[in-house]
Amino acid sequence: MTMVAPTSQTLIGHFEKGLDAPICLTWELTYACNLSCSHCLSSSGRRDPRELSTAECKAIIDELQRMQVFYVNIGGGEPTVRSDFWELVDYATAHQVGVKFSTNGVKITPEVARRLAASDYVDVQISLDGATAEVNDFVRGEGSYATAMRAMQNLADAGFTGFKISVVCTRQNIGQLDEFKAIADRYNAQLRLTRLRPSGRGADVWDELHPLPHQQRELYDWLVAHGEGVLTGDSFFHLSAFGEALPGLNLCGAGRVVCLIDPIGDVYACPFAIHDEFLAGNVRDDGGFASVWRESPLFRRLREPTGGGACGSCSFYDSCRGGCMAAKFFTGLPLDGPDPECVRGFGEQLLADRDDTAKPKPIGDHSHRTSPPRPRAKTGPVPLTLSVRRPDAPPAHACAESPLAGFLPQANAEACVCGADH
Amino acid sequence: MTPLTIDHVVQLHPRVSVRPEPFGALLYHFGTRRLSFLKDLTLLAVVSQLDGTRPLGDALDAARVPREDQARYLRALSALAASSMIVASGATEVAA
């Protein structure tokens, strides 16, 4: 991204007040996924029965075209498992909405790779969280490294250059940054490093996966050395307090220039903030996505000036801006204070003093129920919640024997909130 | 690419879209997948004048850029040319 101006005025002020349409829109098409990554930010696994239909997705694309949202970052879940995935990609690109989609590679066959290589309007991002199978499969599940490498080989063989390899930086893989770069170079791809957030199932494993303080420094130095050659999605601006600012806007864009549309049409302030606290509305509401983006009280609030709170007096506030809102929220820290990974150590102090009940209860767990990737940190007796028919909801009919009679999706989603609290 | 002068004839790359914003505009190049920000409404006015037939000097005049500011705007336009957002007329097939 470049900024072109004959004058030196800052853009940050404009971005903080929000734009008429997002610059960076993430759209998660499904919660269904063939994997069960332990740090999944959207707690994906099972498809939500309320998922947007093909027609509803196309209506959103029409709206994005009207709003001149130039491209969307499609994710999930595993978006390619939707049977209408390619139809939606074709529809978007035919309507001046470019697509970059994130995938674990499961559907990137040689044939699909050739098709992708032929399109200028589609970019692909393969998720890889370890430069070796051992490190990758530890978080993404057995066989996932082989799947990703096969997909990359197919893309390279098809002549698709410059696809992205997206790595969530963890305690286990910070030492592999050079190896990741070598993999990207080998496949003529571009490396993208992003920050682990304690969102979704990430809340369960953040304590054991998030980089240690000396690794943060190692990561920062590596990013500075590699400059704009490595993408970061602007996700490490909290590290700017180490010294010079990293390339990018160095700004929390949540609700200002960034947002998320989830598989059921809920609009959240950012992809890492899937929680009622950051829910702005739903694309199925009157006025659609545009009015959620422009008028939701939450987004309006996020666009108001902030003073920096407890961080306001820190000499690094201008570069780090208090860090990531989602990281603070899901670790139970106040939103107007330091990031849990504040490089000056203020976050660690707060975490140590934190009352464990301060952490928010996650919402919307879509995890697979039958085969978790590995035993969770605290396995024990399975807590059962016996359902009781609401007194105001009579039986569907007198002889309703179907276990699904009277099924309420909303109530079901509530009932799924379990097991993630630790 | 050499810096642009008032005599160059350029146009917006056909695969670039312009989204006006209160501060100027967002430019997106569908070929290179790069985003640029025009941080100035006058610069947007200049870019809007680029039709590939008249020299840049005409576009600067039409956007009422004062003579003493021309050099700064030419530098900004040269930066846009360096990322293929604007191209010399008839040369649209180069650089994605």
Q: Do residues B52 and B59 touch, judged by C-beta distance below 8 A? A: no
Per-residue confidence (pLDDT) for residue A1, from 0 to 100: 55
Provide the 10 A C-beta neighbour count for residue A318: 13
Residue A237 has pLDDT above 70, yes or no: yes
Burial class, A356, CB count within 10 angstroms (exposed 0-12 / middle 13-18 / buried 19+): exposed
Q: Distance (Å, rounded) from C-alpha A328 to C-alpha A347?
A: 9
Retrieve residue A112's tokens.
């699909």
Q: Do residues A261 and A27 touch, judged by C-beta distance below 8 A? A: yes
Task: Give the dihedral sign, CA A174/A179/A185/A187.
Answer: negative
Retrieve residue A29's tokens.
């098409």
Task: Give the dihedral sign, CA A102/A107/A113/A117.
Answer: negative
Please tell me the distance in Å from A11's CA to the nearest CA on chain B: 7
Question: With an 8 Å Cβ cutoff, are A70 and B31 in contact?
Answer: no
Residues of A in contact with B75 (CB under 8 A): 6
Q: Distance (Å, rounded) from C-alpha A274 to C-alpha A267?
A: 9
B1 and A CB contact within 8 Å: no
Question: With an 8 Å Cβ cutoff, are A19 and B21 in contact?
Answer: yes
Per-residue confidence (pLDDT) for residue A320, from 0 to 100: 87
Residues of B in contact with A123 (CB under 8 A): 33
Please tell me the distance in Å from A14's CA to the nearest CA on chain B: 7
pLDDT bin (cut points 50, 70, 90) of residue A292 is very high
Q: Are strands B34-38 and A279-282 parallel, antiparallel or unpaired?
A: unpaired
Beta bridge partners of B36: A2, B27
Question: With an 8 Å Cβ cutoff, are A71 and B28 in contact?
Answer: yes
> Nearest-CA residue of chain B relative to A98?
B30
Provide the 10 A C-beta neighbour count for residue A65: 15
Q: Distance (Å, rounded) from C-alpha B4 to C-alpha A246?
A: 30
* Cα→Cα distances A142→A138, A179, A372, Å: 7, 20, 12
Residues of A in contact with B37 (CB under 8 A): 1-5, 11
Q: Do residues A256 and A18 touch, judged by C-beta distance below 8 A? A: yes
**pLDDT digits over B50-84, tens only?**
989 999 999 999 999 999 999 999 999 999 999 99
Question: With an 8 Å Cβ cutoff, are B19 and A70 in contact?
Answer: yes
Residue A421 has pLDDT above 50, yes or no: no
- Cβ-Cβ pairs closer than 8 A, A with B, add up to 74
Please tell me the distance in Å from B56's CA to the nearest CA on chain A: 16
Residue A68 has pLDDT above 70, yes or no: yes
Per-residue confidence (pLDDT) for residue A417, from 0 to 100: 19
User: Tell me, what's the ipTM?
Assistant: 0.84
Per-residue confidence (pLDDT) for residue A163, from 0 to 100: 97
Across the range A61-87, mean pLDDT stands at 96
Backbone angles phi, psi at A125, to 5 degrees: -130, 115
Following CA atoms A249, A293, A48, A277 in sequence, which dihedral angle do they give, to the nearest 10 degrees?
80
* B79 closest CB neighbour out of A2, A11, A19: A2
**pLDDT digits over A343-394, tens only?**
999 999 999 988 878 889 878 899 998 655 554 544 455 555 555 544 444 4
Q: Which residues lie closer than 8 Å to A359 by C-beta, 6 or more apart?
A: A203, A330, A331, A332, A421
pLDDT bin (cut points 50, 70, 90) of residue A48 is very high
Per-residue confidence (pLDDT) for residue A387, from 0 to 100: 52
Q: Distance (Å, rounded) from C-alpha A419 to C-alpha B78?
A: 57
Per-residue confidence (pLDDT) for residue A385, from 0 to 100: 52
Residue B44 has pLDDT above 50, yes or no: yes
B91 and A CB contact within 8 Å: no
Q: Which residues lie closer than 8 Å to B67 by C-beta, 6 or more apart?
A: none
Which chain A residues have any C-beta within 8 angstroms of a chain B C-beta? 1-7, 9, 11, 14, 19-21, 23, 68, 70-71, 96, 98, 100, 120-121, 123
For chain B, how many residues are written?
96
Residue B23 has pLDDT above 90, yes or no: no
Across A65-163, the runs of DSSP E, i.e. the strands, are 71-75, 98-103, 122-127
Per-residue confidence (pLDDT) for residue A422, from 0 to 100: 20
Angle value at C-alpha A40, between A114 and A78, nearest 5 degrees: 30
Question: With an 8 Å Cβ cutoff, are A70 and B37 in contact?
Answer: no
Angle value at C-alpha A184, between A183 and A187, nearest 5 degrees: 85
Q: Distance (Å, rounded) from C-alpha B44 to C-alpha B67?
A: 17
**Nearest of A364, A287, A271, A260 to residue A50 by alpha carbon:** A364
Question: With an 8 Å Cβ cutoff, are A2 and B17 in contact?
Answer: no
Retrieve residue A385's tokens.
């919640």
Q: Distance (Å, rounded) from C-alpha A406 to C-alpha A390?
A: 10
Residues of B in contact with A161 (CB under 8 A): none
Interface of B with A in 49-68 (CB under 8 A): none
Domains of chain B: 9-88 (3.90.930.70)
> Nearest-CA residue of chain A relative to B65?
A6
Classify A203 as helix, strand or coil.
Answer: helix
pLDDT bin (cut points 50, 70, 90) of residue A266 is very high
